[in-house]
């Protein structure tokens, strides 16, 4: 039982490059989300999805794109990397209904944009 798997763990990009951060979960969770973590700012929501084919914007969506073609996968795309996108990125998943709302987080991707 792998939980939430994020790849890569570390990445260095040059300004203007694009890349995709991968996220996969094997718990059949309907809800998936992407957060970025910056010092003193906590976890800020980038995009989220309540099920396959359904995505929506969070608090800081600019410069990022997502899609959800399957229940298991929720990739995050950086369209044209900027130094302001240097951060640690976390993917999380959970059930959407019932009483169990606890998130399972991946181990994160540390991204540096130079």
Partner 1 sequence: QQQVKQSPQSLIVQKGGISIINCAYENTAFDYFPWYQQFPGKGPALLIAIRPDVSEKKEGRFTISFNKSAKQFSLHIMDSQPGDSATYFCAAKGKTGGGNKLTFGTGTQLKVEL
Tell me which residues touch partner 1 (CB under 8 A).
4, 30-31, 33, 35, 40-45, 48-50, 56, 58, 90, 92, 94-96, 101-108
Q: Which is nearer to partner 1, 31 or 81 (CB)?
A: 31
Write down the least CB distance from residue 65 to partner 1, Å.
Answer: 19
> Residue 21 or residue 106: which is nearer to partner 1 going by CB?
106
- The least CB distance from residue 5 to partner 1, in Å, is 11
DSSP annotation of 84 reads G
DSSP state of 61: -
Residues 6+ away with beta carbon under 8 Å from 101? 94, 95
Main-chain phi, psi angles of 84, to 5 degrees: -65, -10
Q: Rounded to the nearest 5°, which phi and psi values hold at 81?
A: -60, 140
In the complex with partner 1, the residue whose CB is nearer, 70 or 80, is: 70
């Amino acid at each position: 039982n792998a939980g939430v798997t994020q790849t890569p763990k570390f990445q260095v990009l040059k300004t203007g490059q694009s890349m995709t951060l991968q996220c996969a979960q094997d718990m059949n969770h309907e809800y998936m989300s992407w957060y970025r973590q910056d010092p003193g700012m906590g976890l800020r929501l980038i995009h989220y999805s309540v099920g396959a084919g359904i995505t929506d914007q969070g608090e800081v969506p600019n410069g990022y794109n997502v899609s959800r073609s399957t229940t298991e996968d929720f990739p995050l795309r950086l369209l044209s990397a900027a130094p302001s996108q240097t951060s640690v990125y976390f993917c999380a998943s959970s059930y959407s209904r019932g009483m169990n709302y606890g998130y399972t987080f991946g181990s994160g991707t540390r991204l540096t944009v130079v």
